[in-house]
Amino acid sequence: MILAVAGGKGGVGKTTVAYNVAAALDAVVVDADLGMADLPGRRGVTLHDVLAGHADVTAAVRSGPVDIVPCGRTLAGARACDLAALGDALTTLRRARGPVVVDCPAGRRADAGVPLAVADACLLVVSPRAFALADAVRTRELARELDTGLAGCAVNRVTDEPPTAAIADALGAPAAVVPADPRVGRSVTSERPVVDAAPDSAAAAAVRELAGRVPLG
Amino acid sequence: MDLSWRVDRAGDVSLVRCRIHNDGVAPKRVRVRCLLDGPVLPPRRGGIPESGWDADGVTVRVAPDERRPLGFASPVSPASPVSPTPSVSSASPVSSASPDSAVDRSADPSADPPVEIANVAPIADADPTDAEDAGTAAETAVRELGSHRPPRDALAGDDGSEAIGDPLSGASVSGAADVAGPAADPVDPEGANDPEGANDREGTDVWDDPVGPDRAAGWLDAVERRVERAERLTGADVATATEVVAAAGGVGALADLDGRLAGDATRLRRLSDRAAALAARADAADVPVEALEDLS
């Protein structure tokens, strides 16, 4: 299973959701945000090296509570990436390491589309704001054009009761509510996924619910 | 099945345009093979060849009565003869009185065709294998969507060491040009013919702006052109001097060449000193990134 975590808009928490869902799935998480990497790991082989043909993807895996394939930080590295190589890289990684979760960049350009195109399914992350939902709907359309099934959507960083039913209706998939929780926010930089750090929290339950929707078979 | 074609020569590249017309009543899968010596340079989007193209030609599906235009480029050796003769030919198995085949009779039989129809196979509408091979999902997405690449100009100030000797293909360079526009070109293509304008621009704008490796390379190229011009004039005979003056567009254009070169020499020495000092500092510095990450 290759799962793309997408969302259209930047800053809605795609990386956080990708990292925590990967923890719940015992998957490798790949930072595919070629221009603005978020997941930790600045040293060593990165996805830039893999997509430039300089390294094998299995050499880029960085072990941790959740295994990570980090992305390079330079724009020159992003320019040198051949996105057409991403499909083979992710397939190789899945064969070697099991399920793969891909943290996608924002937008509708090729760097956002290619992970969706090569993934078996996607999760959409949306913030409980109307303007963010419009971007999520556009990403949903992109996934549909690329024939990628939508496994579910995460309404992230919820403080008040969100219009979950309306969001699920707009995106055409069940929506899980991830409440605002500082432990979720910190989980990526501290590398402590919320399902381990706070297994009884509502946020951990939401992450498990999202992971449960992913068809692993 | 009719095939018409035309070859134009642009520099060291042959541009082949052809059109196939299915005059039958059933859809056909047609293999068009390139007969030129050079490799086929297929049409690309986002750096990815269009579906159906390979090293020898293209395989396309042509519906009944469809006229399908195709085009590609192929490098030729500069010595080979130019034969831009437009021509039209017709290929078996079916030929009818279409406009193409009418022209065929008056076509120049001496021109060597650049392409031929290698194979025509019938296909059923419902045949799931008749779809043209679109390549992998990733290739299709790269073709269809906008380029992800940050423009070359954005590399200024970045750790752009990889930008020198850019590993990118031609297609990706064109993608960057879409975004960056003409101002991104560090080397004025008119530089050789317009030393005044080129010098002004390269001597001030580029030097005062934040300088990325590409821009620095552009400036160095401009200096090199000035030095070469001055070298040709140093102790030159009348014929050479006349040639250089004419190429520069008159004596006026060369009047302050000496002064510019003095400025160039000063800047180059300053650059050399600073570059050496920076390289030494870069080698000596060590950023404890892992430790810093623990702080945040």
Q: Which residue among B137, B145, B167 sits closest to A87, beta carbon to beta carbon?
A: B137
- pLDDT value of position B212: 63
Model ipTM value: 0.75
pLDDT, tens digit, 9 for 90 and up, residues B98-156 = 334 333 333 444 467 888 888 888 876 555 444 455 567 788 888 878 788 877 777 65
- The CATH number of the domain where B85 resides is what? 2.60.40
DSSP string, B26-44: S-EEEEEEE-SSSPPB--E
Hey, are the CB atoms on A83 and B148 less than 8 Å from each other? yes
**HSE-up of residue A193 (Cα within 13 Å, Cβ side):** 27
Q: Is residue A203 part of a domain?
A: yes
The rounded distance, in Å, linking the Cα atoms of B216 and B222 is 10
Which residues in chain A touch residue B148, judged by CB atoms under 8 angstroms apart?
34-35, 78, 81, 83, 105, 109-112
The domain containing residue A65 runs over which residues? 2-212
Query: Which of B144, B162, B181 is at the close of a domain?
Result: B144
**pLDDT of res. B232:** 82
**Could you tell me which residues are beta bridge partners of residue A156?**
A178
Burial class (CB in 10 A: 0-12, 13-18, 19+), B82: exposed
Q: Which of B191, B251, B185, B274 lies closest to B226, judged by CA?
A: B191
CB proximity list for B163: less than 8 A, separation 6 or greater? A76, A79, B152, B155, B212, B213, B214
A174-205: string of b/e by CB count within 10 Å (b at 16+)?
Answer: ebbbbbebebbeebbeebbbbbebbeebebbb
Length of chain A: 217
* Least Cα separation, residue B149 to chain A (angstroms): 5
Chain B residues whose beta carbon lies within 8 Å of the beta carbon of residue A40: 293
Beta strand A121-126 with A149-158: parallel, antiparallel or unpaired? parallel
B291 found inside a domain: yes
* Chain B closest-CA separation from residue A48 CA (Å): 12
Specify whether the backbone of B74 is left (phi greater than 0), alpha (psi in -120 to 50) or beta: beta
Residue the block writes with tokens 């990889």? B162
CB contact under 8 A, A87 and B138: yes
Please indicate, yes or no, whether residues B68 and B123 belong to a single structural domain of this protein: yes
Is residue A217 in a domain? no
Q: Please state, in angstroms and as integers, the Cα–Cα distance from residue B88 to each residue in B4, B5, B59, B192, following that order.
A: 4, 6, 20, 42
Closest chain A residue to the Cα of B139, Cα to Cα: A84
Give tens-digit pLDDT for B84-101: 444 454 444 433 333 343
If we measure between CA atoms, which residue out of B18, B13, B27 comes closest to residue B120?
B27
According to the model, what pLDDT value does residue A105 have? 92
Contact A105, A6 (CB under 8 A): no
Best CA proximity match to A6, nearest among A152, A145, A128: A152
- The nearest CA of chain B is from the CA of A204 a distance in Å of 23
| Exposed / middle / buried, residue A14 (Cβ in 10 Å: 0-12, 13-18, 19+) | buried
pLDDT at residue B82, as a whole number: 52
pLDDT reported for residue A124: 92
Q: Is there a contact between A111 and B148 if contact means CB atoms under 8 Å apart?
A: yes
Q: What is the pLDDT of residue B80?
A: 57
CB neighbour class for B269 (10 Å; exposed up to 12, middle 13-18, buried from 19): exposed
Q: Is A87's Cβ below 8 Å from some Cβ in B?
A: yes
Same domain for B140 and B195? no
A129 touches chain B (CB under 8 A): no
Domain that holds residue B231: 191-295
Task: Sort out which chain A residues have CB atoms less than 8 A from B141's CB and list them.
Answer: 83, 110, 113-114, 116-118, 146
The number of domains in chain B is 2
Q: How far is A70 from chain B (nearest CA, A)?
A: 14
* DSSP string across A54-82: SS-GGGG-B-SSS-EE-----HHHHHT--
Out of B47, B148, B176, the one facing A109 most closely (by C-beta) is B148
A76 touches chain B (CB under 8 A): yes
CB of A104 less than 8 A from some CB of B? no
Residue A34 lies in a domain: yes
Is residue A182 domain-resident? Answer: yes
Number of domain units in chain A: 1
On whether both B117 and B203 belong to a single domain, the answer is no
Domain for residue B61, yes or no? yes
Contact (CB<8Å) A74/B167: no
Is-cis flag, bond preceding B93, omega within 30?
yes
Query: What is the nearest CA distance from A164 to chain B, expressed in angstroms?
Result: 31
Beta strands B115-122; B28-34: pairing state: antiparallel
Say if A13 falls within a structural domain. yes
Do B220 and B289 fall into the same domain? Answer: yes
- Same domain? For B108 and B197 the reply is no
How many Cα neighbours within 13 Å face the side chain of B49?
A: 19
| Chain A residue with Cα closest to B176 | A79
Q: According to the model, what pLDDT value does residue B177 have? A: 37
Could A118 and B137 be called an inter-chain contact, meaning their C-beta atoms sit closer than 8 Å? yes
Query: What stretches in chain A show pLDDT beneath 50?
Result: none
End-to-end CA distance of chain A: 7
- pLDDT for the residue numbered B127: 52
Residue B251 lies in a domain: yes
Closest residue by Cα to residue B53 from B16, B24, B78: B16
- B134, B65: one domain: yes
CATH of the domain at A108: 3.40.50.300
**Same domain membership, residue B204 and residue B120:** no
| Domain-located, residue B132 | yes
B32 and B20 Cβ atoms separated by less than 8 Å: yes
Task: State the 10-residue block means of pLDDT for chain B, 296 residues long.
Answer: 87 89 88 89 83 87 90 78 50 40 40 84 61 66 80 60 39 37 39 41 42 74 86 80 77 77 88 89 84 76
Residue B118 lies in a domain: yes
Q: Identify any residues that bridge with B4 across adjacent strands, giving them in sequence order.
A: B19, B88
- Quote the minimal CA–CA distance from A80 to chain B in Å: 6
Mutate to test the interface with B, among A75, A141, A189 (most CBs of B within 10 A): A75
Q: What residue type is assigned to position A14 of the chain? A: K
Quick check: is B182 in a domain?
Answer: no
